[in-house]
Amino acid sequence: MKVKMWGVRGSIASPGPKTVRYGGNTTCIEVRSDDDSLIILDAGTGIFPLAQTLLARLPVTANIFITHTHWDHIQGLPFFVPLYIPGNKVRIHGAYDIVSMQGIQQVMDVQMQYSYFPIREAELKAGIEYETLTVGQPVSIGDATVTPVLMNHPVTDLGYRVESNGKAMFFTGDHEPWLNIYKPEDSEYADYQGMMDLRQAELQAAIGKVDLLVCDSAYTMAEYPPKIGWGHGTFDHAFAMAQQVGAKRLVCTHHEPTRSDDDLEKVFAEALSRHPGLPFEVMLAREGLEIEL
């Protein structure tokens, strides 16, 4: 199984001379299973350069798994060129939205209204299907299995475990560890902490042992307190998750868009200095990074 990063920034694309090394596109990950089945995790702006490479291998059959429908994870979808070419097949997978009470099909309906985009969804020429997922229910894609896992974010957010022939990776999408909303002296603290511990244990079991963990690491520990509840984690949170699930390799992603490459390397080094001797390989996500499992 091969994994390639096409977009690694969070919240908004941030191109420019200060983000050249790690890239300025928002989230998109290409996964190729052993039989070359194409799985795409999220459709941020990074899906556009990915699409250009696919045009040399027509017809395209692609399965796109959306973690959640915040703009930085879907805004590249109307620019996924294979959607416009007859003979291609694209299936878009994602969660049911409890706010709009619609399935994942709304991801294109909303973006491709004439008020926001010059081409109607009806004009797309590829064969397009939508699959609204059930948490914990695996989906078979060629020789791979993709299992959606519920994460913690201000909207329904699915992480994805991808397995192929004994190798596995997990992508958190946007995720913030569950926190106790009570203070230790509050009478509700112990019961609520028990519930948080149960959720964390269930998440660890769902992720399972993985060869690769790609994890939301948007903030430093110093930046995190005023952003509690925004739905993102820190480098330290990512290190802890990798240890908890026994990951062999950790890739930290969803880089803060205001952070230059130099600043990103600096805060990453500072986080690593607090955790000497980590029992796994850890690196920053960057556009073009390829990992073979």
What is the tally of structural domains in the chain? Answer: 1
pLDDT score at 99: 81
Amino acid at 243: Q
Give the model confidence (pLDDT) of 16-35 as tens digits: 999 999 999 999 999 999 99
* Percent over 90 (pLDDT), the chain: 88
Stretch 262-273: mean pLDDT = 98
Asked whether 9 and 257 are in contact (CB, 8 A), the reply is: yes
Q: What is the pLDDT of residue 23?
A: 98
- Which pair of structure tokens corresponds to residue 244? 């908890």
pLDDT at 257 over 90: yes
* 100 DSSP 8-state letter: T
- What pLDDT shows up at residue 171? 98
For residue 259, pLDDT over 90 is answered with yes
Which residue range forms the structural domain that includes residue 245? Answer: 2-292
CATH number at residue 287: 3.60.15.10
Q: Are 112 and 119 in contact (CB under 8 A)?
A: yes
| pLDDT reported for residue 229 | 93
Q: Quote the CA–CA distance of 250 and 239 in Å, as a whole number.
A: 8
Among 256, 206, 203, CA closest to 234: 256
> In this predicted structure, what is the pLDDT of residue 97?
86
Q: How far apart are the first and last CA of the chain?
A: 5
**Tens-place pLDDT, residues 185-196:** 999 999 999 999
Q: What is the mean pLDDT of the chain?
A: 95
The answer on pLDDT for 121 being more than 90 is: no
Q: Parallel, antiparallel, or unpaired for β 212-216 and 249-253?
A: parallel
Please, are residues 233 and 275 in contact by the beta-carbon 8 Å criterion?
no
pLDDT of residue 129: 96
pLDDT band at 1 (very low <50, low <70, confident <90, very high): very high
Quote helix, strand, coil % in the chain, to nearest 5. Answer: 25, 25, 45
Mean pLDDT lowest among 64-68, 97-101, 114-118: 97-101
| Contact residues for 127 (Cβ-Cβ < 8 A; gap 6+) | 88, 89, 90
Report the pLDDT value the prediction gives residue 38, as an integer from 0 to 100.
98
